[in-house]
Chain A
Amino acid sequence: MNGQKEVDYRKEKMKSRIAWGIAILFACIWLVATLVPFIFMIMNSFRKQFDMLAQGVFHFPDPWYFENYVEVATNGFFGYFFRSVIVVAISLILMLIIASCAAYPLSRMKFKMRGLIYAGIVAMMSIPMHVTLIPIFKMTTNMGMYDTLQSLIGPYVTFALPMSVFILTAFMMTIPKEVEESAEIDGCNKYRNFFSIILPLSKSGLSTLAIYNGVSMWNEFAFANTLLQTPANKTLPLALGQFKGEHAMDIPIILSVLVLSVLPMIILFIVFQDKLVKGMMAGAVKG
C-alpha cells in the first residue's frame, strides 16, 4: 500500500519533470518568436533609410543613427502623446464603469429581457467599424464637436462597450452566487452588492479589459483620422502621417515613432501585470 503510493509519487514526479522540460522548451521558442520582431523594430529605428534598405532589415545598425529620434521629438511628438493620454484615460475609465454596470444585471439578475439584450450585445460586436464613419462624422459635426478631442470619447467608449460587457458578464458569472446571497441576507441591496462585492471580485476581468481596450484605443486610427484635422488636436496614431509622404515614407522614422508610442504601454504593463495574477497566485506560490 505504502510502496504503491511511493511509486505513484515517483511516476508523478518524473512525469512532471518531463512536462516542465517540454513546457520550457516551448516557452523559449515562443519567447524568440515574440521578441525578435520587436527587436527589429527597435534596431531599424536607429538606422538611416538607405542603410536599412541596402543592408537589409535584419542587420544590426551600422553605423548607429540617432537623428530619427531627435527629429521625432522636435516635431511635436509630446503634444500628440499628451493628447492621446488624455483621450485614452478618460475613455477607458468611463468605459470600464459603464461596462461593469451593464454586465452586473446581465450576469447576476433574472429578468425577461436579459436574453434579448445579451443577444443584442453580441450583435453589436459584429458591426463593421467602417460603416459608422459617415453617420458618426455627421453627428459630430452637427454637435459642433468636429476637430475636438472630446469627439473621440463617445466612439471610443461605445465601440469598446459590447465586447467589454460580454467579457465582464462571463467573469461575473464565475463568481459563486452564494457570495451575493449571503450578503443579501445581511441586508445589502443590489446597488451595494455591486459596489462592495461584485466589483472588487471582478478586478481581474477589469484589468484584462483595461489592457485590451487601452491598447486598441491607444492605437486607434480610423476615428481619429476622420474626426480630427488640426495638427494641434491630433492624437498619436496620426503622428505617423507627418512622416509619410505621397510617394515614399521614411520607414526608420516611422519605426521610431512606433517605438516611442509603445514604450509607455510596456511600462504600464510591467507595472500592472501583477494585478492580473493575484487571487490564485498568493496560494500557488506557497503550494
Chain B
Amino acid sequence: MVSRKGDNVAQKNNANGLARAREKSTVKAAAVFLFPALFLIAVYMIYPIIDTFITSGYSWNGISSNKIFVGMQNWKTLLTDMTFWSSFGHNVVVMVFSILLQIPIGMLLATFLDAGGKKFNLFKVIWFLPYLMSSVAIAFLFSYALATNGGIFSSIASMIKGGKVTVDLLGRNPHALFAVIGVMAWQFTPFYMVYFIAGYGNIDTSIYEAAVIDGATRGQYLRTIAIPLLGPIFKTACTMSLIGSLKYFDMIWNMTGGGPAGGTELMATYMYKLSFQQFNMGYGSCVAAGMFLLITLIALLFQKIFVVKEDY
C-alpha cells in the first residue's frame, strides 16, 4: 500500500530516474522502519478502540449476553450529559494549568541545572524524586498533607494567624480541583525537567562554543540560540502535557475518587465509574469514545496552531 502510493507520486511527478528511484527506496525504507510499531499498535490499540466505538452503540451492562442495539442513543445522551461536560471542563482546567505550571517550571529547573553543570547533580536527583513515587504513595501522603487536621497548609496557616485555622483544600469546590492540579504539577514537573535537560543535551556543543567565541553571554546564548533550537522539543512537551492531563486518572482516583460532589470528576474517572462500577458499559464506552475523539481533536488542533520551524 505504502510503496504503491509512493510509486504513483513518483510517476506523476515524472521526475528524472534517479529521483524516482530515491523516492521509491525512501518509501520502502520507511515502510520497513515503521512496520513493527504499526503492527503492535494495530493489535493492541486499534482493535480495542474500534471495539469501544461498536460498544458505544449498545445498551449493555458489560456482562450480560443480552446487548441491545440502540444506535446513536448513547451519543445523544452524551451531548446533553452535564456530568460529562463538567468533567470535560475540569479536564480543560487541569490541562491549562498543567501546561502553565509543569512546563515553565520544568524548563526553569532544567535551565538552572544546565547552567550549573555537575555541581548541581544533587539538586537534580532530589528534584526528580516526586516522579519516581507511585500514585498510591502520592495520594496517601497528600491526603494527609492537605488534611484539615494537622496538614501542612492548616499548620502553616495556624502558625501565621495564631490559633487554630483550618484550611480545607480537598473538601470544598473549586479548591479541591486546584489542590489536585498542584499535586499533579508536583508529580510531573520533574519529568519535564529531565526532558528539557535532554533537549539541551541534544544541542551540538559546537554551537555553544561558536556563540562564546562570538562574545555571547550565557543569557544571550540561552535566549537567542538554545531556546529557539528547542522549539520542537517544547512543542512535544506541551502536547504530552495536554494529552496526559486530558486523560488523567490514577492519582485523582486514589486521592479524591472524583469528589467532593463531583468537583474533581474527570472524563476518565466518570468513564471508569460507568463501565466498571455502575454496570453501564454501553454508555461508558460512549463516554470513552467521546473522550478519545475530543482529546485527539484538541491535540491535532494544537499541532496545527502551534507551528515551529522544523529542520526537515
The one of B29, B186, B208, B288 in contact with A131, judged by C-beta atoms closer than 8 angstroms, is B288
Complex Cα distance, B108 from A171, in Å, reads 20
Q: Are A131 and B240 in contact (CB under 8 A)?
A: no
Q: Does B71 contact A (CB under 8 A)?
A: no
Interface-lining segment among A65-73, A227-235, A277-285? A277-285
B29 to chain A, nearest CB (A): 4
Q: Does B25 contact A (CB under 8 A)?
A: yes
Interface-lining segment among B45-53, B77-85, B171-179? B45-53
Q: Are B36 and A174 in contact (CB under 8 A)?
A: no
Complex Cα distance, B40 from A273, in Å, reads 30
Q: Are A102 and B130 in contact (CB under 8 A)?
A: no
Q: Are B51 and A170 in contact (CB under 8 A)?
A: no
Q: Mark B260-281, 1 if CB is under 8 A from A, else 0.
A: 0000000110011001100000
On chain B, which size bracket covers the interface? 35 or more
Q: Are B51 and A251 in contact (CB under 8 A)?
A: no
Complex Cα distance, B267 from A169, in Å, reads 29
Q: Are B126 and A105 in contact (CB under 8 A)?
A: no
Complex Cα distance, B253 from A274, in Å, reads 35
The one of B109, B131, B217, B243 in contact with A30, judged by C-beta atoms closer than 8 angstroms, is B109
Q: Are B311 and A167 in contact (CB under 8 A)?
A: no
Q: Are A126 and B40 in contact (CB under 8 A)?
A: no
Cβ of B96: which chain A residues have Cβ within 8 Å of it?
A: none
The one of B145, B272, B299 in contact with A126, judged by C-beta atoms closer than 8 angstroms, is B299
Q: Is the interface of B mostly helix, strand, loop or mixed?
A: helix
The one of A155, A158, A208 in contact with B194, judged by C-beta atoms closer than 8 angstroms, is A208
Complex Cα distance, B236 from A107, in Å, reads 13
Q: Mark B107-135, 1 if CB is under 8 A from A, else 0.
A: 01100111101100101111111111111
Q: Does B202 contact A (CB under 8 A)?
A: yes
Q: Are B121 and A108 in contact (CB under 8 A)?
A: no
Within 8 A of B (CB), among A51-104: 56-58, 98-99, 101-102, 104
Complex Cα distance, B109 from A11, in Å, reads 25
Cβ of A139: which chain B residues have Cβ within 8 Å of it?
A: 43, 47
A25 to chain B, nearest CB (A): 11
* CB contact under 8 A between A104 and B135, given known A157-B40, A270-B125, A278-B201: no
Q: Mark B237-253, 1 if CB is under 8 A from A, else 0.
A: 00110010011010000
Q: Are A130 and B45 in contact (CB under 8 A)?
A: no
Q: Are A130 and B272 in contact (CB under 8 A)?
A: yes
Cβ of B236: which chain A residues have Cβ within 8 Å of it?
A: 166-167, 169-170
Q: Are B127 and A161 in contact (CB under 8 A)?
A: no
Complex Cα distance, B129 from A8, in Å, reads 40
A-side residues, CB < 8 A to B, are 12, 15-16, 19, 23, 26-27, 30-31, 33-35, 37-38, 40-41, 56-58, 98-99, 101-102, 104-114, 117, 119, 122-132, 134-136, 139, 154-155, 157-159, 161-163, 165-167, 169-171, 173-177, 189-191, 194, 201-202, 204-205, 207-208, 211-212, 215, 219, 237, 240, 251, 254-255, 258, 261-262, 265-266, 269-270, 273, 276-285, 287
Closest 3 CB pairs of A and B: A126-B295, A105-B30, A102-B37
10 A-B contacts (beta carbon < 8 Å): A30-B105, A126-B243, A136-B44, A159-B45, A177-B311, A190-B25, A204-B201, A273-B125, A280-B203, A282-B205
